[in-house]
Structure 1
Amino acid sequence: MTILLTGGDGYLGWPTALRIASRTDDRVVLVDNFARREWVENVGSRSATPVAPISERLDAAEEVLGITNLSFVEGDLADKEFTDELLGIHEPEVIVHAAAQPSAPYSQINGERANYTQHNNMQATRNLLWGLEEQDLTDTHFIETTTTGVYGAPEFPIPEGGATMENQGEADAVPFPAMAGSWYHLTKSHDAANMRLAHQQFDIPISDVRTSIIYGAGTDETQADDRLATRFDFDYYFGVVAHRFAAQAVAGYPMTVYGKGEQRKPFGSLEDAVEGLARLALMDPAERESGHTVYNQVTRPISIVEVAETIADVAGEFGYDVAVEHFENPRDEDETHEMEIENDRYLDLIDEQRVTFEEGMRETIGTISEYEEIITAHEDRFLPGVLED
Structure 2
Amino acid sequence: MTVLVTGADGYIGWPTALRIATRTTDRVVLVDTLARREWVDSVGSTSAVPAAEMAERLAAAEEVHGCANLSFIEGDLTDTETVDRLLSIHEPSVIVHTAAQPSAPYSQINGERANYTQHNNMQATRNLLWGLEEHGLTDTHFIETTTTGVYGAPEFPIPEGGATMEHEGERDEVPFPAMAGSWYHLTKSHDAANMRLAHTQFDIPISDVRTAITYGSETEETAADPRLATRFDFDYYFGVVAHRFCAQAVAEYPMTVYGRGEQRKPFIALEDAVEGLARLALSDPAERPDDHVVYNQVTRAISIVEVAETIADVAGEFDLDVDVEHFENPREEDETHKMEIENDRYVDLIDGQSTTFEEGVREVLGTIGEYDDTIEAHEDRFLPDVLTGDEAAKTASDAEESSSDETQPVDTEAE
Structure 1 residues 20-169: aligned runs within 5 Å: 20-169=20-169
Give 1:290 deviation, angstroms: 2.6
Structure 1 residues 1-389: aligned runs within 5 Å: 1-385=1-385, 387=387, 388-389=390-391
- Cα distance in 1 for residues equivalent to 2:28 and 2:192: 25
Instruction: Give 3-state SS (helix, strand or coil) of 1:106's partner.
Output: helix
Give 1:386 deviation, angstroms: 5.4
The residue type equivalent to 1:303 in the other structure is S
Does structure 2 retain, via aligned residues, the 8 Å contact 1:299–1:353? Answer: no
Does structure 2 retain, via aligned residues, the 8 Å contact 1:161–1:176? Answer: yes
- Cα distance in 2 for residues equivalent to 1:173 and 1:332: 31
Does structure 2 retain, via aligned residues, the 8 Å contact 1:7–1:97? Answer: yes
Shift in CA distance, 53/251, structure 1 to aligned 2, threshold 3 Å:
same
Please give the per-residue CA displacement for 1:266-319, whole angstroms capped at 9, x wherever unaligned.
000000000000000000122222300000000000000110010001110000
| TM-score between the two structures when normalised by the length of structure 2 | 0.93
The residue type equivalent to 1:128 in the other structure is L
Does structure 1 retain, via aligned residues, the 8 Å contact 2:129–2:198? Answer: yes
- Cα distance in 1 for residues equivalent to 2:264 and 2:316: 24
- Cα RMSD over matched residues? 0.8
The residue type equivalent to 2:193 in the other structure is A
Ranges in structure 2 where 5+ consecutive residues have no aligned partner? 392-415
- Cα distance in 1 for residues equivalent to 2:299 and 2:125: 26
Partner of 2:404: none
Instruction: Give 3-state SS (helix, strand or coil) of 2:331's partner.
Output: coil
- Cα distance in 2 for residues equivalent to 1:288 and 1:332: 42
Shift in CA distance, 386/357, structure 1 to aligned 2, threshold 3 Å:
closer
Instruction: Give 3-state SS (helix, strand or coil) of 2:325's partner.
Output: strand
Instruction: Give 3-state SS (helix, strand or coil) of 1:144's partner.
Output: strand
| TM-score between the two structures when normalised by the length of structure 1 | 0.99
Give 1:352 deviation, angstroms: 1.5
- Cα distance in 1 for residues equivalent to 2:190 and 2:9: 24
- Cα distance in 2 for residues equivalent to 1:146 and 1:172: 24
- Cα distance in 2 for residues equivalent to 1:352 and 1:342: 14
The residue type equivalent to 1:180 in the other structure is A
Identity level (%) = 81
- Cα distance in 1 for residues equivalent to 2:12 and 2:135: 28
Please give the per-residue CA displacement for 1:124-156, whole angstroms capped at 9, x wherever unaligned.
000000000000000000000000000000001
- Cα distance in 1 for residues equivalent to 2:61 and 2:331: 41
Ranges in structure 1 where 5+ consecutive residues have no aligned partner? none
Does structure 1 retain, via aligned residues, the 8 Å contact 2:146–2:210? Answer: yes
Does structure 1 retain, via aligned residues, the 8 Å contact 2:43–2:386? Answer: no
The residue type equivalent to 2:221 in the other structure is E
The residue type equivalent to 1:175 in the other structure is P
Tell me: higher relative CO, structure 1 or 2? Use CA pairs within 8 A at least 6 residues apart.
Answer: 2
- Cα distance in 2 for residues equivalent to 1:129 and 1:106: 26
Partner of 2:412: none
Does structure 2 retain, via aligned residues, the 8 Å contact 1:257–1:325? Answer: yes
- Cα distance in 2 for residues equivalent to 1:26 and 1:331: 48
- Cα distance in 2 for residues equivalent to 1:330 and 1:65: 48
Does structure 1 retain, via aligned residues, the 8 Å contact 2:248–2:254? Answer: yes
- Cα distance in 2 for residues equivalent to 1:223 and 1:273: 16
Does structure 2 retain, via aligned residues, the 8 Å contact 1:151–1:180? Answer: yes
Please give the per-residue CA displacement for 1:194-214, whole angstroms capped at 9, x wherever unaligned.
000000000000000000000
- Number of equivalenced pairs: 389
Does structure 2 retain, via aligned residues, the 8 Å contact 1:15–1:230? Answer: yes
- Cα distance in 2 for residues equivalent to 1:41 and 1:240: 16
